[in-house]
Amino acid sequence: MSPSWSKSRNAFEPEDHSKIAYLWQKRFGIPVQAFANFCFYRRAQNVWVFSDAALPKLSYETVGLRMMNFKEDPWKPTSCAIQVFGRHATKNAVHLTSEQARIFFAGRSQVLKANVEAGYVVVSYTGVVLGCGLCSHGKLVSQLPRECRISSDAEMDI
Amino acid sequence: MDHLQRYQEIIPEYDVFLSFLDRPLPTSVRINTLKTDISSLLDRLDRSSIAYTCLNWYPLGLRLGIERPGKMIEHILGYIHIQEEVSMVPPIVLDPKPGERILDLCAAPGSKTTHISQMMDNRGLVIANEPSLARITSLRSNCERLGAVNVAITRYDGRRFPDQQFDRILVDAPCSSEGMARKDPEVLSRCSLKRSLDLLVLQKGLLKRAVQLTRPGGVVIYSTCTYAPEENEAVVGGVLGQFRDMVSLEKVSVPGLKECSGLSEWNGIEFGDDLKNCARYYPHQNDTGGFFVAKLVKK
């Protein structure tokens, strides 16, 4: 049952842990144990990941990090959650060269042959997880939010 | 600069202090251990030929020989956070532990919030409160970039934060920001005694509420980036007077960092000898900005 303080329209409701962990395991092969010390909350179409501490009765603007949204099918992971949990991914992950990483950081799309299922992927470069990408029809489209992009190649030393 | 003359008697080597205000502030960053570790980060800087010096008083602090660290990949990926060196002091003195309940009452833009989060290894609860919706944007974006999973953001007027009990509370209060003059010289043109006295009312309200919200044995850190005793010792002394039997002041001192003691009196107003336990940080003593830190312990 939802706690009494979460009745307002914008409240964060506790979300089923196994359901969310299973979705990430199914898509990225991330073991459910990777989420063992975290809990999930849902507000509208978004799921948030938070530490396993009890939340006191307060009105919240955010709870931990926004992890994914269900606005569209398939659900979309956020780049900040991919940066935290993506290192555990065993599938639907792509590894870029330095030139490809530049294009990804610029927020652009590029032709990429990768052995992945169509949809959202974990994007890495030299073992470092950069964020979320969308693979479809032989292309990788950067999903980095605007504030995480570097538009000028000249300014980037990766 | 004229405004600062009122501090001539309390700031040691006042001429040297003034000369430091004309010098640009060193670019300093904090290593975010939620996403990397010291040796991996230093390896990356070495490979990129970015010059750096490690702070002699704090292993997670670095000075960088680069003008715009905001464009660095390490910054965008959240491995480092650009933060004035001496503003790392309040979380260090707060000393939060993994699993505790912490309140950061005036949190935006989140430098200290995320510092607290990493000191807790992303465990426990950090409530980051910020009344301004506009400033919550930067707070939230820093938490996301740095991967601070144990932070929940609220938007209350800190003076009326709802009844709760916390292990430790940071009140990094809104202030006249005189200590930021090396970063933004314009800041001094907005400073006046009247402004400090206006802020004092707000600051006292915030600190008083923080004391009420702290569990017995818990800690409240009060900090500002200003020199004005009206916004520092007068605030702490005033609140101490209201909670005389419940709160004591502990000495603030960080090894490797030079500080001056807090003032026991100012312009004929007595604050009390225990206010000497507070720490005043001046730019010329550590080549930083200016800061004030007080540590209150609830009995």
Domain at B2-25+85-298, CATH homologous superfamily: Vaccinia Virus protein VP39 (3.40.50.150)
Q: Which of A72, A89, A106 is the last residue of a domain?
A: A89
> CB B100: neighbour CB atoms within 10 A?
19
Q: Is residue A4 part of a domain?
A: no
**What CATH number is associated with residue A71?**
3.10.450.720
The shortest C-alpha distance from B278 to chain A (Å) reads 32
- Domain span(s) for CATH 3.40.50.150 in chain B: 2-25+85-298
Residues with pLDDT less than 50, chain B: none
Same domain, A83 and A96: no
- Domain span(s) for CATH 3.30.70.1170 in chain B: 26-83
Query: What is residue A151's predicted lDDT score, i.e. its pLDDT?
Result: 72
The CA distance from B110 to B135, in Å, is: 10
The pairing of strands A93-96 and A119-125 is parallel
Q: Is residue A5 part of a domain?
A: no
pTM for the full predicted model: 0.95
* Token code pair at residue A25: 């395991």
Q: A73 lies in which domain range?
A: 11-89
Domain count across chain A: 2
Residues with pLDDT less than 50, chain A: 1-6, 154
Q: Is residue A54 part of a domain?
A: yes
Query: What is residue A148's predicted lDDT score, i.e. its pLDDT?
Result: 86
The CA distance from B292 to B272, in Å, is: 17
The CA distance from A136 to A120, in Å, is: 9
* Token code pair at residue A74: 């398939």
Q: By the 8 A CB rule, do B124 and B99 touch?
A: yes
The CA distance from B48 to B37, in Å, is: 17
Q: Is residue A144 part of a domain?
A: yes
Query: What is residue A4's predicted lDDT score, i.e. its pLDDT?
Result: 42
Q: Which of A64, A89, A114 is the last residue of a domain?
A: A89
Q: Is residue A6 part of a domain?
A: no
Kindly list the residues from chain A whose CB atom is less than 8 angstroms away from the CB atom of residue B125: 51, 53-56
Q: Respond yes or no: is residue B225 known to be catalytic.
A: yes
Q: Is residue A139 part of a domain?
A: yes
Question: Residue B47 class from Cβ within 10 Å (0-12 exposed, 13-18 middle, 19+ buried)?
Answer: exposed
Give B267's DSSP letter: T
Same domain, A98 and A62: no
Domain B26-83 has CATH 3.30.70.1170: yes
Same domain, A58 and A70: yes
Interface of B with A in 134-153 (CB under 8 A): 136, 140-141, 143-145, 147-153
The pairing of strands B125-129 and B151-154 is parallel
Same domain, A128 and A78: no
Q: By the 8 A CB rule, do B280 and B238 touch?
A: no
The CA distance from B240 to A74, in Å, is: 56
Q: Which of A43, A61, A89 is the last residue of a domain?
A: A89
Q: Is residue A72 part of a domain?
A: yes
Rg (CA), chain A: 17
Query: What is residue A150's predicted lDDT score, i.e. its pLDDT?
Result: 84
CB-based burial, B102-133: b 16+ in 10 Å, e otherwise: bbbbbbbbbbbbbbbbbbbebbbbbbbbbbee
* Token code pair at residue A22: 């299973």
Say if the Cβ atoms of A58 and B162 lie within 8 Å.
yes
Tracing tokens 């974006």 back to the chain, one arrives at: B141
Query: What is residue B106's predicted lDDT score, i.e. its pLDDT?
Result: 98
Q: What angle do CA B193, B199, B202 make, to 5 degrees?
A: 155
Q: Name which of B49, B144, B164 to mutate to probe chain A: the one with the most chain A Cβ atoms within 10 A of its Cβ.
A: B144
Does the complex come out with an ipTM higher than 0.90?
A: yes
Q: Is residue B82 classed as helix, strand or coil in its secondary structure? A: strand
Report the candidate in A149, A120, A144 with the shortest Cα–Cα distance to residue A134. A120
